[in-house]
Amino acid sequence: MAAQARSADPRIEEVFASVPREAFLGPGPWTVFAGEGRFETPSADPSYI
């Protein structure tokens, strides 16, 4: 996200790296949007996100 926003502030990346992504999600499995497509994760295993 920091790269997409063209941010040079390393604190943004550090904050996102310090919080597990699954902390922001409800229970899985999850729908993942990638490019122009989407797919459902096979399970609620956080390694899929």
pLDDT digits (tens, 9 = 90+) for 7-31: 888 888 888 889 887 778 889 999 9
Residue 20 lies in a domain: no
Q: Is 44 a residue whose pLDDT tops 80?
A: yes
| In contact, 31 and 15? CB cutoff 8 Å | no
Residue 49 lies in a domain: yes
Residue 46 lies in a domain: yes
State the Cα angle at 14 between 40 and 3, rounded to 5°. Answer: 70
Residue 47 lies in a domain: yes
**Number of folded domains that form the chain:** 1
| pLDDT level of residue 46 (50, 70, 90 thresholds) | confident
Task: Please give the average per-residue pLDDT across 19-46, as a whole number.
Answer: 89
What pTM does this model have? 0.52
Residue 14 lies in a domain: no
Write out the two tokens for 38: 């989407």
What confidence score (pLDDT) does residue 39 get?
94
Residue 36 lies in a domain: yes
Range(s) of the domain holding residue 48: 25-49
What confidence score (pLDDT) does residue 43 get?
95
